[in-house]
Amino acid sequence: MTSTEKMSLQEEALAFAEQGSKVAVFAGTLDLAQVFFAGFESILNEDEVKKIIRLNGARAIHFHSGGLIRFHSTRSVPRGYFFDRVYVPAGIQHNVMEQLAPLVVTSREPAIVGYF
């Protein structure tokens, strides 16, 4: 990949998680978050994956590196989780951003990234 090429959301999030980062991908609805999960699952490097969780609507991919990707809806921001990177739909409401900010507060390199 050249420096002018951009990684897709999936490629970027997977790269960070495979390197040990805790990543959250938010979508407007839980159904859409589960669709995103399926897209990620289809491009995984199985050798990097420790376990995949599909339980009562929750979706997560854990990596041998200690990294993970969790999938959530912006309608129900989780409590008690901490992430290094959070991906959110562009144009997200300000009050939702305020709820998401504490999720990255403990990271050494916190990032909340918007996507289209």
Q: What is the pLDDT of residues 52-110, one digit of tens each?
A: 999 988 899 999 999 999 999 999 889 899 999 999 999 899 999 999 999 999 999 99
Could you confirm whether domain 9-115 is CATH 3.40.50.300? yes
69 near 43, Cβ under 8 Å?
no
According to the model, what pLDDT value does residue 49 have? 96
According to the model, what pLDDT value does residue 3 have? 45
Instruction: Extract long-range pairs of 97-106: CB within 8 Å, 24+ residues apart.
Output: 100/26, 103/24, 103/77, 103/78, 106/82
